[in-house]
Structure 1
Amino acid sequence: MPTATAPPNPHLTDSTLHPFTTPTFSPIDYLNITLPKPTSTTTLSTTASQTQTHISTLAAQTTRLSDTLTTLTDDILRTSSRLAYEVELLRGEALSLADTLSSRGSLHPQILHFVPNGLDSILSPPEEKEHEETEKPTSPITASPNSLPEPPSLPRLRTLLHVRTQLQRCISAFNLALTLPFPPSLLSPTANPLASPEAEAQEAKGQAALARIKQEILDLIADTEGRGGGIERARERVRELRELMGVWRGTGEERARGRWVEGLEGMVDEEERRRERRVFGGQGQGRKEGSAVRGFGGLEPEVRSGTPGFLRRLREEIYMD
């Protein structure tokens, strides 16, 4: 039996949305494949213009899909009350028809001419089936998947929601990458940040962005908000930055940015080790101080009792010296 294929979603006919419908979609891989590759023949302004055009296209698709989802949701909410009203009407008519055809209805004498035993004997289950049903344990009635087919609109709504979520993830990853410029001095040791005003501005902007991220990690470690678990939250933030660095995978900035993230990871690890040493060192110092107090306390009774033992040992030590 051939399986019926679902009709294509009319809202996803644009070819730019096809990558977002795959289950294995990754925003970072999508950006690496879609964005133009920087080469020696292309200028930075051309690459930025092409990238901005692509992002504008994705933003327009996101707006269109959001409007479509809003419209469909409004239609569902608007028609749900009317649908419930019609279901109640049909239920009342069905109950009225069943009561009319039963032995209590007005049509029962006429029905007996065609069905001598009446419709109740036909509609009611046999006694044997009733006996079998009473022996079976009660369980909730569940309809098989084939008895209640899923409306064709629900898969389309799920697909639209999935595409919208992937678009938002992609745009969010790209926006985060834009907020993290890198100073040219860290990308190349031979770069001169003071070669031109533009290079100097890029250097200052990159250093400010890195200082802001580093200060954020330090604030998380210090737990300035008093939420607790500062080390864990700082490590989670560094892990997010590590994942974001995948945007530059395969580019000339990948290694330099990776070393910078490794430096943040080392800073968090060093702070964790320092706290562990502080805890264990405090316990060892407490044990040493306790031993010294106990040793001095053992001498006090002998001194206070006035016995000559202490003076004798002191005199012997003086003579030995």
Structure 2
Amino acid sequence: MFEQLDFGIFHGASKAERDEFCRRLVSELRHYGFVKLINHGVPLEDVNKAFETSRNFFQLPLSEKLKSPHPPTANPHRGFSPIGLENISTISNYGSASTMPLLKDMKESYDIGSDNDPIYKNIWPPAGLYDSFQTNFTSFFASCYEVELVILDAISIGLGLPTQTLRLLHQTQANELRLTHYPSVSRDAFVDSTRIAAHTDFGTITLLFQDNVGGLEMESPPNSGKFIPINSGGQGECILNVGDCLEMWTGLRSARHRVHLPDPSIHPKGSDDAIMERFSIAYFAKPDRTAILRPLQQTVEYGQQYLTANEFQHMRIQGTYA
């Protein structure tokens, strides 16, 4: 149902072909809130190394992972979160006419920011525990940031805005990288839990990389409460999500999504079935903290009171950590 777009066209085509690709990219984002990209610019070898590093970390004993703990509150959004520390379900119904039930998240995660962030410092594993972890993810973060800026240029062109409109609102790298591990669980556990509850992303765009296990679902049509499975194209594919900030700037719809049961054709029905563990890596591109979330085009209407990106981020994340 959802075809992949080849972002390589943006780099290798004529200006006319490039502009047509950008319009198609924006059209897909406007209709669905996300798009599947190949040749997005993050080298496959970097993606594979990031997944290998993530898997190795999450296989460590819990006592070792807890040596780089996420604080018990939302800020700073850094370090390791064990199962139960964060509950996305508390914000599942933000901005939607449909009401989702409160479900417990079955996941553990690790959050990383820019090493140049002047406000929030990274929380890394202590020396001697997993020394390549910091090196690998500092490099991966930098790769994602470079790609983020180019994708923002493409979206600006597709919207009919000057090329660097969105890029210039993302200069201070207030971005976050999240590694997520969904442990293997029984199918019965999904009665009152989910891998991650329905939500929209807080930032501008998200670059999501995932393994082949499946379970990612997007709400379609918007506000319907109905979710469609999004088959994985493997670690070389990137799912580009529209976030809340981009919606407020441009009117492109922020995609509400979740991770639930994988396709039953992969995991046959049966109460004793164990659902395979799942890994994903999400890069959240966020605006500069002082950026004003005011419509960039006259055709976009979004309330009368405009927040800074920093004010909005704090409002959205409040309550996800108990």
Give me the TM-score of the superposition, normalised by structure 1.
Answer: 0.21
Task: From the CA coordinates, give the structure whose radius of gyration is larger.
Answer: 1
| More contact order relative to length (CA 8 Å, sep ≥ 6) | 2
More helix by share: 1
